[in-house]
Structure 1
Amino acid sequence: MSTLVTMAASKEAIAIVLDVGPTMNSAPAGEATPLQTAIQAITMILQRKMFAESKDEIALILFGTTDTDNPLVDGDSYEHVSIARHLGVADFDLLQMVQNDIQPGDTPADFIDAMIVAMDHLESGLQGKRGFGSKRLIVLSDLSSPFGDDQLETFIDVIQKFNVEVNFIGPDLDDNDDDAGGAGPAEGGSGDATPGKDKTPQQRAGEAMAKYIIEKSNGASYSFNEALPALSYFQSRQVRPTAWKCLLEVGPNLKIPINGYIKMKEFKLKQSWKNVYAKDPSLEIKRERTHHLDDEEETEVDPDDIVEGYCYGSDRVPMTAEDKETMKYQSEKCFKVLGFTQTEHVKRGHHMGDSCLSVSAEKGDEAAAVALSALIHALYETNCVAIVRRVYAARTSPRIGCLIPHIKADYECLYWIELPFAEDIRTYTFGSLPLKEGATTNKKYTPSADQLKAVDELITSMDLSTAAENEDGEKCEALKPKLTFNPYFQRVYQCLQHRALHPDEPLPELSPLIARCLQRPQAVEVACQASAEKLGKAFKLERVAKKKEDKSGEAMFKENGASKEGPAAKRPKMDDDLAGGIQAITKAKVTEVGTVTPIEDFQDLISRKDEDLFEKACEQMQERIQQIVTDSFGQQFYGKAMDCLKALRTESIKKSESNNFNDFIQDFKDTLITKGRRDFWDKIIAEKQCLVSKMECEESDISKEEADTFMAGEVKKEEATPQQEETTADDLLADL
Structure 2
Amino acid sequence: MAYNKEAIIIILDIGENSTRIVDGSDQTLLEKEKQCCTKLLQKKIFEGKKDEIGLILMGTEETQNRLNNESLGYEGICETFNLNIPNWNLVRAINRCPPCESAQANWLDAIGVAVAVLNEELQKKKFGATKIVLFTSFTNVGHCSTEKGAIVRDLKNLGTELIVISDNIEFCFDEGAGEEGSEGPSQATFSQMPDKPLQQVQAERLILEIIEETDGNLTSFQYLIDHLTHFQKKRSRLWYWNTKLEIGKDLEMQIAATISIKAESHFKFQTTAKDENMSLQMETEYFKNGEKIELSPEDKLKGYMIGLTPIPYDETLGMKKPNTTKGLRCLAFTKSSTIPPQLLCGNGTYLVMAKEGDGRSQKLFRLLVEAMIRLGHSMIASKVYMNGHKPKLVALTPNNSTAFPTLNMYEMVFADQVHHWYFPQLCTKKTQPSPEQYAAVEELIDSMDLMDAGEGGGEAFPHNKLVSPVVQNIYETVTKRALDPKYKVEVFDHRLLEALKMPQVVLDRSVEPIKKIKELFTLEAPKTYKKELVRKLCLIPVESDADPQAFAQYELPEETKKVLEIGTVTPEEDFKALVNEDITAFPKVSEQLANVLYDLIFKTMTDQSEKVCDTMTTFREFAKFYGPYVYTDWIRNVKTTVVTRRKVDFWENVVVRNRLGIISASESEQVVSVTDEEAEEFYRVNIGASASGAGQDDEVDVDDLFGQM
Tell me the TM-score normalized by structure 1.
0.69
Q: 2:211 aligned with 1:214, yes or no? A: yes
Alpha-carbon distance change, 603 to 345 in structure 1, aligned in 2, over 3 angstroms: closer
Which ranges of structure 2 fall in alignment gaps of 5 or more residues? 173-188, 542-554, 663-681, 698-709
Paired residue type of 1:398: K
- Residue-by-residue CA offset, 1:621-642 (whole Å, 9 max, x unaligned): 9699569624547xx4578789
Deviation at 1:69, TM superposition (A): 2.0
Give the SS at the match of 1:289.
Answer: coil
Alpha-carbon distance change, 628 to 384 in structure 1, aligned in 2, over 3 angstroms: closer
Q: Match of 2:179?
A: none
Deviation at 1:22, TM superposition (A): 0.9
Q: Match of 2:295?
A: 300
- 8 Å contact kept, 2:655–2:661: yes
Q: Match of 2:136?
A: 141
CA distance in 2, matches of 1:619, 1:463: 52
Query: Which of 81, 85, 88 is residue 85 of structure 1 equivalent to?
Result: 81
Aligned length: 627
Deviation at 1:82, TM superposition (A): 1.5
Deviation at 1:45, TM superposition (A): 0.6
CA distance in 2, matches of 1:57, 1:230: 20
- Residue-by-residue CA offset, 1:322-343 (whole Å, 9 max, x unaligned): 56x6166553322223333344
- 8 Å contact kept, 2:378–2:395: no
Q: Match of 2:381?
A: 388
Paired residue type of 1:203: Q
| Residues 268-279 of structure 1 aligned to structure 2 (within 5 Å) | 268-272=265-269, 275=271
Alpha-carbon distance change, 284 to 642 in structure 1, aligned in 2, over 3 angstroms: farther
CA distance in 2, matches of 1:296, 1:459: 58
Deviation at 1:489, TM superposition (A): 1.0
CA distance in 1, matches of 2:468, 2:65: 41
Deviation at 1:43, TM superposition (A): 0.7
- Residue-by-residue CA offset, 1:578-601 (whole Å, 9 max, x unaligned): x9849x67x8x9999875457878
Alpha-carbon distance change, 125 to 257 in structure 1, aligned in 2, over 3 angstroms: farther
Deviation at 1:64, TM superposition (A): 1.8
Q: 2:446 aligned with 1:460, yes or no? A: yes
Q: Match of 2:32?
A: 37
Q: Match of 2:465?
A: 483
- Residue-by-residue CA offset, 1:414-448 (whole Å, 9 max, x unaligned): 332334444437465653535xxxx6x358x7474
Query: Which of 511, 528, 536 is residue 532 of structure 1 equivalent to?
Result: 511
Query: Which of 25, 40, 58 is residue 19 of structure 2 equivalent to?
Result: 25
Query: Which of 598, 602, 609 is residue 629 of structure 1 equivalent to?
Result: 602
Paired residue type of 2:350: L
Alignment RMSD (CA, Å): 5.4
- 8 Å contact kept, 2:393–2:411: yes
- Residue-by-residue CA offset, 1:166-223 (whole Å, 9 max, x unaligned): 21111456679xxxxxxxxxxxxxxx99998833332233323323333333322111
Alpha-carbon distance change, 209 to 378 in structure 1, aligned in 2, over 3 angstroms: farther
Give the SS at the match of 2:334.
Answer: strand
Q: Match of 1:512?
A: 494
Q: Match of 1:413?
A: 406
Q: 2:112 aligned with 1:116, yes or no? A: yes
Alpha-carbon distance change, 646 to 514 in structure 1, aligned in 2, over 3 angstroms: closer
Alpha-carbon distance change, 606 to 316 in structure 1, aligned in 2, over 3 angstroms: farther
- Residue-by-residue CA offset, 1:676-720 (whole Å, 9 max, x unaligned): 88999999999999xxxxxxxxxxxxxxxxxxxxxxx9x9734x4
- 8 Å contact kept, 2:303–2:310: no
CA distance in 2, matches of 1:295, 1:522: 55
Q: Match of 2:102?
A: 106
CA distance in 2, matches of 1:646, 1:457: 39
Q: 2:257 aligned with 1:264, yes or no? A: no
Alpha-carbon distance change, 42 to 553 in structure 1, aligned in 2, over 3 angstroms: same
Q: Match of 1:339?
A: 332
CA distance in 1, matches of 2:27, 2:194: 14
| Residues 232-631 of structure 1 aligned to structure 2 (within 5 Å) | 232-272=229-269, 275=271, 283-292=278-287, 298-302=293-297, 305-311=300-306, 315-322=309-316, 326=319, 331-347=324-340, 351-393=344-386, 394-406=388-400, 408-409=402-403, 411-422=404-415, 423-424=417-418, 426=420, 428=422, 431-434=425-428, 441=430, 446=434, 448=436, 455-469=441-455, 475-525=457-507, 527-528=508-509, 531-533=510-512, 535-536=514-515, 539-540=518-519, 581=557, 596=569, 625=598, 629-631=602-604
Alpha-carbon distance change, 670 to 486 in structure 1, aligned in 2, over 3 angstroms: closer
Alpha-carbon distance change, 123 to 320 in structure 1, aligned in 2, over 3 angstroms: farther
- Residue-by-residue CA offset, 1:38-94 (whole Å, 9 max, x unaligned): 111111111211222222221111122111222232232333222212222222111
CA distance in 1, matches of 2:371, 2:198: 67
Q: Match of 1:47?
A: 42
CA distance in 2, matches of 1:493, 1:377: 45
| Residues 635-654 of structure 1 aligned to structure 2 (within 5 Å) | 636-637=607-608
- 8 Å contact kept, 1:390–1:400: yes
- 8 Å contact kept, 2:567–2:596: no
CA distance in 1, matches of 2:106, 2:478: 37
CA distance in 1, matches of 2:516, 2:170: 48
Give the SS at the match of 2:11.
Answer: strand
Q: Match of 1:183?
A: none
Alpha-carbon distance change, 212 to 254 in structure 1, aligned in 2, over 3 angstroms: farther
Question: Identity of aligned pairs, percent?
Answer: 24
- Residue-by-residue CA offset, 1:638-682 (whole Å, 9 max, x unaligned): 78789999999999xx9xxx9xx99xx99x999996x88899999
Alpha-carbon distance change, 604 to 221 in structure 1, aligned in 2, over 3 angstroms: closer
- Residue-by-residue CA offset, 1:139-190 (whole Å, 9 max, x unaligned): 11223325758554444344334432221111456679xxxxxxxxxxxxxx
CA distance in 1, matches of 2:412, 2:646: 57
Give the SS at the match of 1:113.
Answer: helix
CA distance in 1, matches of 2:408, 2:466: 23
Deviation at 1:487, TM superposition (A): 0.9
CA distance in 2, matches of 1:454, 1:405: 35
CA distance in 1, matches of 2:694, 2:513: 82
CA distance in 1, matches of 2:573, 2:599: 17
Alpha-carbon distance change, 547 to 248 in structure 1, aligned in 2, over 3 angstroms: closer
Please identify, of 110-119 and 220-229, the stretch whose mean Cα deviation from structure 2 is larger: 110-119
- 8 Å contact kept, 1:310–1:319: no
Please identify, of 235-244 and 493-502, the stretch whose mean Cα deviation from structure 2 is larger: 235-244
CA distance in 2, matches of 1:462, 1:601: 46
CA distance in 2, matches of 1:601, 1:432: 24
CA distance in 1, matches of 2:578, 2:260: 56
- Residue-by-residue CA offset, 1:556-588 (whole Å, 9 max, x unaligned): 99x9xxxxxxxxxxxxxxxxxxx9849x67x8x
